[in-house]
Amino acid sequence: MKGFLKRIARRFGYDILHLPTDPITRQWLDLMHDNQIDLVFDVGANVGQYGGRIRSLGYRGDIVSFEPMAEAYQQLHQQAVADPHWQTVHTGMGDYDGNAVINVSTNSYSSSILEMLPLHLDSAPEAAHVRKESIRIQRLDSLVDQFYKPGRNLYVKIDTQGFERQVFEGSRRALDKIRGIQMELSLQPLYRGETLMTDMVSLLRTEGYTLKLIEGGHRNYETGELLQVEGYFFR
């Protein structure tokens, strides 16, 4: 049976090296296989953690990673350069085409265009913003046709630290091309002006996306309060 599953998976661009025991990962792989995902947009790629992870889980389709910060982009590019099916683009994503200023955090991956609120800083002091950097920002609508071809099954992962709503708004003309969306969802306000989980779930539902899987995320380790989750949506 395991050999049969591997043969089927390879037809859709996957190579299952081992079957993970973590139930969330197993469910995510099932959703990716069922939807025949063969193109992943990695929005807010930082230094390539997500691309590296899905490769380690056996995904062998195309990846396009978008990262706006110069230092993080250089590390991302170095990780992806040897992979012929992994492209990198030095840009941020949002609801307009132009320029922006990003608040760079100590740990890099918590950097955001939005201002960090005390609740986030109290729960993760290492996420403190330490400087600002000018970046380019573009709508996914402006870029999608550079990488997407008819018949492909596109999956968009959005990790933009409170800026997820703006990325989604900049993707509206491309929604008919997007089969699945993965994004961070905040239960409490962590960045000024961000859209919280209940509103984001309702927004995606109106566009035909169903929340299929939730994974626990950032929490306050002193109080145990869950502050963010990862949501997986498919049409």
In this prediction, residue 22 carries a pLDDT of 84
- Model pLDDT, residue 98: 98
Note the pLDDT of residue 5: 42
Q: Where in the chain are the domains?
A: 2-91+140-234
pLDDT bucket at 136, cuts 50 / 70 / 90: very high
Closest CA to 99 of 61, 153, 130, 137: 137
- What's the fold here for domain 2-91+140-234? Rossmann fold (3.40.50)
CB 85 within 8 Å of CB 103 = no
Q: Which pLDDT score, from 0 to 100, does residue 9 have?
A: 46
User: Residue 123: pLDDT band by 50, 70, 90 thresholds?
Assistant: confident
- Nearest 10 degrees: Cα torsion 224, 51, 152, 83: -170
Residue in this structure with the two tokens 């995510």, named with its chain if needed: 28
Can you read off the two tokens belonging to residue 195? 């859209």
**What predicted TM-score, i.e. pTM, was given to this entire model?**
0.89
Looking at residue 19, its pLDDT comes to: 56
Inter-residue contact 51 to 80 (CB < 8 Å): yes
What whole-number distance in Å separates Cα of residue 7 and Cα of residue 179? 23
Closest CA to 92 of 46, 39, 54: 46
Dihedral sign computed on CA atoms, order 187, 20, 44, 200: negative
